Structure 1
Amino acid sequence: MQTIQDIMTRDVQTISPQETVQRAAQLMDELNVGAIPVLDDGKLVGMITDRDITVRSVAVGQAPGSTKVEQVMSTDVRTCTAGQSVDEVLGQMGDVQIRRIPVLDEQSQQVIGIVSLGDVATKHSADVDRTLDEISTPSEPDRSATRH
């Protein structure tokens, strides 16, 4: 059984909830990623994605240079642990339509990595077609979660 620790990306860049949306976008550009875990005093408090920036900030006219990450980040973050099976986590990703999940240390609850659908597709022999199909199914706009 292949576990998350076998395929996860380690040394994950994080951002503070007090940073600006503009800084988050710059980091995403520099790192060529679409999501960054948000840590407050070492504790995972959210995730900010390129979609959060676009839909929850830019689309409603917020200024990226003054809008804080905490105002647009997703706070209901699904996580996994390094010892979980890839198939189990793949199922979670499909169930909640997400492409990336932070990996937490079971003891300390600190972020030790991140696993993406791309990691699964390139490093795991499982069939990712079903999960990709579930993730790609249109869902309702996420405007109700917007905080001003």
Structure 2
Amino acid sequence: MTTVNDLLRDKSTEIWTIAPESSVFEALELMSEKNIGAVLVLESGRLVGLLSERDYARKVILENRTSRDTPVRDVMTTRVAYVEPSMKIQDCLALMTDKRFRHLPVMANDKLVGLVSIGDLVKGVLAEKEFMIEQLEQYITGQ
């Protein structure tokens, strides 16, 4: 079974972060520039939150705030679930489906080592299924 660590090996090692005192506008600029849907919030190297497009829509736009004047710390999600690299991708998908979020930080020994999205996990599941189909086809045809 494919693990989060397997996904991280095939993924860029860059982790995009922002400080909690940064403006939401700065976070949105980063997210747009990097074409990502969420950014991790680090303070003194420690994960303290996550800001997603959903946070922006619900806590800035709908509350009539301005993104230039609102610090990330005021609207970020602070109760961030995370996974370890050894977790199976199916278990991550179940967690994300149950809790209704789309991004999971990956922590190893209290250190941030990556971030996976629901898209990454779905891609991993599809690759796993394709491999299994190929193996079965080879078995059936005797190759």
Q: Does 1:93 find its partner at 2:96?
A: yes
> What is aligned with 2:114?
113
Q: What code does the residue aligned with 2:21 have?
A: Q
Q: 1:41 aligns with which of 21, 24, 44?
A: 44
Mapped to 1, the partners of 2:66 and 2:94 lie a distance apart of 37
The count of corresponding residues between Structure 1 and Structure 2 is 125
The ranges of structure 1 where at least 4 consecutive aligned residues each deviate by more than 4 angstroms after the TM superposition are: none
TM superposition shift of 1:55:
1.3
Q: Does 1:54 align with 2:53?
A: no
Is the counterpart of residue 67 in structure 1 residue 101 in structure 2? no
Deviation at 1:31, TM superposition (A): 0.6
Q: CA deviation at 1:21?
A: 0.3
Q: CA RMSD in A?
A: 1.4
Q: Matches of 1:2 and 1:62 in 2, distance apart?
A: 42
User: Of Structure 1 and Structure 2, which has the larger fraction of its residues in helix?
Assistant: 2
Query: Which structure has the larger Rg over C-alpha atoms?
Result: 2
Aligned to 1:4: 4
Percent identical: 31
Native 8 Å contact 1:7 1:124 kept in 2: no
Give, in whole Å, the separation in 2 of the partners of 1:35 and 1:41: 19
Alpha-carbon deviations, 1:27-64, whole Å to 9, x = none?
Answer: 11001111011111111111001111121012212121
1:92-147: CA deviation from partner (whole Å, max 9, x where unpaired): 11110111101011x2x1211111111112222368xxxxxxxxxxxxxxxxxxxx
Aligned to 1:21: 24
Amino acid at match of 2:35: N
With normalisation by structure 2, the TM-score equals 0.82
The answer to whether the Cα contact below 8 Å between 2:2 and 2:124 also exists between their aligned partners in 1 is no
